[in-house]
Amino acid sequence: MSERMKQVIEEAERDLLHTYNRFPIVFDRGEGLSLFDIDGKRYLDFFSGIGVFALGHGNRELNDALKRQVDKLVHTSNYFYNEPAIDAARRLKAASGMDRVFFTNSGAEAVEGALKAARKYAYLRDGVADHEIIALENSFHGRTMGALAVTGKKAYRDPFEPLIGNIRFGKMNDIASVKDVLSDKTCAIIMETVQGEGGIHPATADFLTEIRRICDERDILLILDEIQCGMGRTGSMFAYQQYGILPDIVTTAKALGCGVPIGAFLLRGKAAEKSLAAGDHGTTYGGNPLACTAAATVLSLYESMHLVEHVGEVAPYLAEKLDGIKSRRSDVIDHRGLGLMRGLEFDHPVGDILNRALENGLVLINAGANILRFLPPLVIEKADVDEMIDLLERSLG
């Protein structure tokens, strides 16, 4: 590590609140699938900023659109209309099959809005405010108080109790566990279509189909969190589109802005018509012209680049190569995922592997102590997969 790198890191440790155990690297710029630190070393990025940079780093069309908008208009507040928000909402509705859009600044904010919409829907229906929400163990929905309340990891929640109440937990792909916590007070079920932080666990078709049936039968809203697994990552624009169902509310963020902070929750049918109304919810920055220019441009580029179709072409090759590592190594106990959202589970912690990978010029991250997580930009080619596998095998030892 250079003296310059050491100095920058020391300054950061003095000035920034220590809520992250950061890797000792200071990145300076990005280009395509490559990241470069301030010393000029190149890294292959197979993490894309937690699934954010779907288009890779430095996409010229996106950058140019943002520069034009900066010179035109950045913010007015939601007391007025702006065309980028209308454009982004129209494109997002078409991509998702939903009816209404509320733009936020982050995924956690999108989850907060979704929870409020579900409780308001039930309040308008029943005239009482003691409804319950079912979430799933091992899930992750965000760090704000509402999103944390439905995050299925007790260790994350305990220091911040009491959180919002009336939350019950079932288990992913265990319909009996969900039925056990159902009650007449249940107003919503929230789940990730593919659990990300919890270890890359896709919902089974039987499980999600039965959840949808239960929600329809009991007038319960189904909220699908697609903040990480949405926006083309699994081989369809949204992962639920591979299951033949529609949620009542869906949350999205991350790749929606490809680096510009923006999220959204989308509502359909009764959830859109009979929940949040004027005065119920708001945001100062959400839906501003700059962020929505990013979202509208990203959605346009997905279409013109046929990006979802590209994922369908390259993802099987990545899966095949990761299967090969699993077959060759006795310490790899599972490989799972959908599309370009994949995990290798080891029988030991993977921290040392991540550190060696960085030394070898490969950016990966974990999903739990013993799972390597692969979230590359969606623009990867087979040659990029080959380079990653070579670097990974060198890092595995």
SS3 262: coil
The answer to whether 226 touches 251, Cβ cutoff 8 Å, is yes
Only one residue has tokens 């000029």, namely 40
Which residues neighbour 199 within 8 Å (Cβ) at sequence distance 6 or greater? 138, 343, 345, 367, 368, 371
Among 359, 350, 354, 356, which residue's Cα sits nearest to residue 332?
A: 350
Beta-strand ranges (E) seen in the chain are 27-31, 34-37, 42-45, 100-104, 132-136, 167-170, 186-192, 194-195, 201-202, 221-225, 249-252, 263-267, 332-338, 341-346, 362-363, 365-366, 371-374
pLDDT for the residue numbered 395: 97
Give just the sign of the alpha carbon dihedral 122, 88, 226, 203: positive
- Which strand ranges, in their side-by-side order, compose the sheet holding 186-192? 100-104, 263-267, 249-252, 221-225, 186-192, 132-136, 167-170
For each of the domains in the chain, give its residue range(s) and CATH number, in order of start: 3-55+306-396 (3.90.1150.10), 61-304 (3.40.640.10)
Sheet holding 371-374, edge to edge: 332-338, 341-346, 371-374, 365-366
pTM of the model: 0.96
Residues in the chain: 397
| CB distance 227 to 263 below 8 Å | yes
User: What pLDDT does 397 receive?
Assistant: 83
Residues facing residue 99 across a β-bridge: none
Per-residue pLDDT for the chain (397 aa), expressed as one digit of tens each?
899 999 999 999 999 999 999 999 999 999 999 999 999 999 999 999 999 999 999 999 999 999 999 999 999 999 999 999 999 999 999 999 999 999 999 999 999 999 999 999 999 999 999 999 999 999 999 999 999 999 999 999 999 999 999 999 999 999 999 999 999 999 999 999 999 999 999 999 999 999 999 999 999 999 999 999 999 999 999 999 999 999 999 999 999 999 999 999 999 999 999 999 999 999 999 999 999 999 999 999 999 999 999 999 999 999 999 999 999 999 999 999 999 999 999 999 999 999 999 999 999 999 989 999 999 999 999 999 999 999 999 999 8
Q: Running DSSP on this structure, what letter comes out for residue 160?
A: G
**Nearest CA among 282, 284, 271, 223 for reference residue 120:** 271
Amino acid letter, residue 382:
K
Which of 374, 371, 367, 263 shows the shortest CA–CA distance to 321? 374
